[in-house]
């Protein structure tokens, strides 16, 4: 998957924008890097405050609330005023797929501006790894800690590319490139991705990562060491094995949609009757503004006519 961590331009935007990231990451979505080709502009502090609180500066219900109410009516396909799990799941699935397709379309347009119907590996590497010396990334000696993860990412991308590049011309068709971006949807690509992560940091070669090994991995990834979480180490044995890494880092589209739907329904179903009304959804505004169901709030910045 194309992988470049999301960045923030200032402390205020990072603090507010991280809410959406936290919603996304907490509920089982992919934790590895993406290209930041979402196409949305950064906003000023006041715009972010309005978006993520859902209130105008005088504290009254804002236009964003009205837009979320309009989204709720779209989710409610039978228009009975109550949104079921199935209705929420269907709409969430459509939005997630739309976002995945848009990400791929925008990246393809960037990498193949002449519309040759092919994406070259060189173009992908230039876009993904920028000024890194490719010769250094190709080296097999023990990497410097500061470039260890970048080298691993380059090598696993190359391995996935070569797996898909059946004619060996160093290029992928658009359909092949879309597969490349979504290893969670391809068993072999998923194996390549997860095995790369484990093998890089599995110092004792037991096929899984202990907490000390995982600390080294997360420090190499983000600069901040993190312990194995209960969400990753589901059997609580102190290790992350292949299946646990797969479930945590490469959840399937079905799993992603299921978990997001369950989370949103839990947030808005205040009377615990198994349904959410538009009023309940508006009351859970912050959860929906930080969710894929509204494209992380981007839908709430559209005009009412665009919704």
Residue range 101-157, pLDDT digits in tens: 999 999 999 999 999 999 999 999 999 999 888 888 888 777 777 789 999 999 999
Nearest partner of 237 among 207, 211, 264, 272, judged by Cα: 211
Q: For position 42, what pLDDT does the model report?
A: 36
Q: Which two tokens stand for residue 234?
A: 């589901």
- As a whole number of angstroms, the distance between CA 269 and CA 85 comes to 10
How many residues are there in the chain? Answer: 307
Beta-bridged to residue 154, according to DSSP, are: none
pLDDT category at 252 given cuts 50, 70, 90 is: very high
Q: Which two tokens stand for residue 116?
A: 């040759």
54 vs 212, more confident:
212
Beta-bridged to residue 210, according to DSSP, are: 239
Q: For position 53, what pLDDT does the model report?
A: 52
Q: First vs last Cα of the chain: how many Å apart? A: 29
Beta-bridged to residue 239, according to DSSP, are: 210
**Percent of the chain at pLDDT exceeding 90:** 71
- As a whole number of angstroms, the distance between CA 290 and CA 24 comes to 7
**What is the pLDDT averaged over residues 282-290?**
95
User: What is the second-level CATH architecture of the domain 187-253?
Assistant: Orthogonal Bundle (1.10)
CB 185 within 8 A of CB 179: yes
Q: For position 304, what pLDDT does the model report?
A: 78
């Amino acid at each position: 998957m194309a992988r470049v961590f999301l960045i923030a331009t200032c402390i205020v935007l990072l603090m507010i924008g991280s809410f959406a990231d936290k919603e996304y990451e907490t509920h089982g979505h992919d934790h590895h890097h993406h290209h930041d080709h979402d196409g949305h502009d950064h906003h000023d502090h006041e715009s972010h405050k309005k978006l993520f609180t859902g209130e105008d500066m005088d504290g009254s219900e804002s236009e964003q609330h009205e837009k979320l109410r309009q989204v709720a009516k779209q989710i409610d396909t039978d228009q009975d005023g109550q949104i079921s799990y199935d209705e929420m799941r269907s709409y969430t699935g459509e939005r997630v797929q739309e976002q995945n397709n848009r990400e791929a379309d925008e990246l393809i347009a960037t990498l193949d501006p002449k519309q040759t119907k092919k994406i070259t590996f060189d173009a992908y590497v230039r876009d993904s790894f920028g000024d890194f010396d490719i010769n250094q990334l190709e080296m097999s000696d023990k990497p410097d800690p500061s470039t260890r993860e970048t080298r691993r990412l380059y090598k696993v991308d190359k391995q996935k590319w070569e797996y898909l590049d059946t004619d060996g011309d160093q290029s992928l068709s658009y359909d092949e490139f879309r597969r490349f971006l979504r290893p969670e949807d391809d068993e072999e690509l998923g194996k390549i991705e997860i095995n790369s992560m484990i093998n890089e940091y599995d110092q004792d070669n037991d096929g899984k990562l202990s907490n000390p090994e995982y600390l080294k991995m997360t420090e190499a990834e983000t600069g901040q060491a993190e312990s194995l979480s209960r969400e990753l180490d589901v059997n609580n044995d102190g290790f992350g094995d292949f299946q646990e890494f797969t479930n945590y880092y490469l959840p399937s589209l079905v799993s992603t949609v299921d978990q997001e739907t369950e989370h949103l329904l839990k947030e808005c179903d205040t009377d615990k009757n198994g349904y959410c009304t538009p009023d309940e959804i508006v009351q859970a505004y912050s959860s929906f503004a930080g969710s894929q169901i509204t494209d992380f709030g981007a839908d709430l910045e559209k005009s009412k006519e665009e919704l």
